[in-house]
Amino acid sequence: MKKVLVLALALIMILGMSSTAFAFDPVPKDQLKVGFIYVGDVVDLGYTYAHHQGTLAMQKALGLRDDQVLIQKNISEDANCETAIRELVDQGCQVIFGTSYGFMDYLAEAADEFPNVIFVHCSGDKAEYLSKPNFGYYFGRIWESRYLSGIAAGLKAKEIGNNKLGYVGAFKSVPEVVYSLDAYFLGARSVNPDVTMTLKETGSWYNPTAERQAADALLAEGCGILSQHVDTTGPVVAAEEKGAFAVGYNADMSNVAPHAYLTAPVWDWSVYVTDTVQKVIDGTWKPENSLMGLSEGLCGLAPLSANCAAGTQEAVDAAKAKILDGSLNVFSGPIKDNTGAEKVAAGQTLTNDEIRGITWFVDGITVG
């Protein structure tokens, strides 16, 4: 009986250790240092700008000093990321955010090397990394906002009598790009079944020259409305200069293209970052794969401009209400891909995980 009792007590101790071994101690707020790694510059008015606005909002909300928020910007997705990570660790950061897809492997490797530092990656998709006790993912259901922006594009295409949409995308093989442009196109087709769309790939998240070249090529092919999954305002500016229209991304781009800009799917990264940093302070942070959307306020749609077609606000509001109450799911069947194969059957709705694995293009999309 004593042996059984001893074994039972040992098992309780082991289970207790397994549940607490990976817990992080609270960090006094005045001793906290938070690191951020940006792929671009905070003045790009796009992806990095949006992230930085979230960083600033977090700093203000939590009352952190400037010397507690350390930023590495213009970091390429290669060994430079490893260097940036080491510099932030050396400067005493207890938590480090990597904000670009290509930082994922470097952050995961650093998580092994620096077990006392928390690493959080934006947009990652390798499930095996979530087993690391100091590593987490965050992203959003941006396909909801993309769909709404597609409604604005589809109605404007109908108004101007040009149903050729153009899309500047970073990588045609990365699911984040593919499901985003698919959702945009499905939104456009929900109000204008006659639209088609051409995708041109830049091969980089942040390459102002390539983004502008792709945009110019789409306009030369007769596209009347551009959209994008790249980091700068290049496609929107190109549309402005050619008398076309554009849907931006990441931030409100109305100031750089007042005659072309319609709207943009946007992010409020502070919703996640502020909560996460507070958990680090409180000692309650745990690894997670966070995916928030319209309902949580992480994703949204920038205000519609006066360039939008009549009735756009009403159509967007109606669709948004249905997304929020669950009666509209962006990837509900029937949906075929651009080879004619059925990808989502009638009555079927893809799960979040299935959506995040999409590598096929909706029927009506051409990869140029």
Per-residue pLDDT reduced to its tens digit, 254-290? 999 999 999 999 999 999 999 999 999 999 999 999 9
Identify the H or E element spanning 229: strand 225-229
Taking residues 86-110, report their average pLDDT.
Answer: 98
- Per-residue pLDDT at 23: 77
pLDDT at 25 over 50: yes
Confidence category of residue 14, pLDDT binned at 50, 70, 90: very low
339's CB contacts (< 8 A; 6+ apart) are none
**Upper half-sphere CA count for residue 276 (Cβ side, 13 Å):** 29
- Per-residue pLDDT at 10: 39
Taking residues 343-365, report their average pLDDT.
Answer: 98
DSSP one-letter string for 85-152: HHHHHHTT-SEEEE-SGGGHHHHHHHHHH-TTSEEEEES---GGGGGSTTEEEEEE-HHHHHHHHHHH
Which pairs from 117-120 meet CB under 8 Å and 24+ separation? 117/89, 117/93, 118/24, 118/94, 118/280, 118/285, 119/95, 120/95, 120/96, 120/276
274's CB contacts (< 8 A; 6+ apart) are 57, 58, 61, 62
Pick from 5-14, 88-97, 186-195, 292-301: least confident: 5-14
- Per-residue pLDDT at 194: 98
CA gap 330, 351 in Å, rounded: 11
What one-character DSSP code corresponds to residue 196? Answer: E
- Per-residue pLDDT at 4: 37
- Per-residue pLDDT at 142: 98
pTM: 0.92
What one-character DSSP code corresponds to residue 260? Answer: T
Pick from 1-10, 115-124, 188-197: least confident: 1-10
Q: What is the pLDDT of residues 71-81, one digit of tens each?
A: 999 999 999 99
Q: How far is CA 229 from CA 72, 241, 345, in A?
A: 22, 20, 27
Query: Any idea where the domains of the chain sit in the sequence?
Result: 27-140+268-292, 142-264+302-367
- Per-residue pLDDT at 57: 98
Task: Judge if the upstream peptide bond of residue 334 is cis by omega within 30 degrees of 0.
Answer: yes
Confidence category of residue 30, pLDDT binned at 50, 70, 90: very high
Retrieve residue 90's tokens.
């050396």
pLDDT at 1 over 50: no
Residues 54 and 267: beta-carbon distance below 8 Å: yes
Retrieve residue 132's tokens.
């690391």
Topology match between the domains 27-140+268-292 and 142-264+302-367 = yes
81's CB contacts (< 8 A; 6+ apart) are 37, 75, 98, 102, 103, 106, 107
Q: What is the pLDDT of residues 142-183, one digit of tens each?
A: 999 999 999 999 999 999 999 999 999 999 999 999 999 999
Q: What is the pLDDT of residues 209-258, one digit of tens each?
A: 999 999 999 999 999 999 999 999 999 999 999 999 999 999 999 999 99
pLDDT at 3 over 60: no
Retrieve residue 145's tokens.
């906002």
Give the residue carrying structure tokens 């990365």.
174
CA gap 60, 41 in Å, rounded: 21
Q: Taking all residues of the chain, what is their mean pLDDT, rounded to a whole number?
A: 94
- Per-residue pLDDT at 22: 57
Taking residues 86-107, report their average pLDDT.
Answer: 98
Between strands 365-367 and 335-336, the pairing is unpaired
- Per-residue pLDDT at 15: 34
pLDDT at 20 over 80: no
CA dihedral (273, 275, 277, 282) in degrees, to 10, reads -170
Retrieve residue 207's tokens.
């390459």
Read off the amino acid at residue 191.
Answer: V
Q: What is the pLDDT of residues 303-349, one digit of tens each?
A: 999 999 999 999 999 999 999 999 999 999 999 999 999 999 999 99
Does domain 142-264+302-367 fall under CATH 3.20.20.20? My reply is no
Read off the amino acid at residue 320.
Answer: K
Retrieve residue 68's tokens.
């507690």
Give the residue carrying structure tokens 């109908």.
158
pLDDT at 294 over 80: yes
b or e along 129-154 (b: 16 or more beta carbons within 10 Å of the residue's beta carbon)?
beebebbbbbbbbbbbbbbbbbbbbb
346/15: higher pLDDT: 346
Class of domain 27-140+268-292: alpha beta
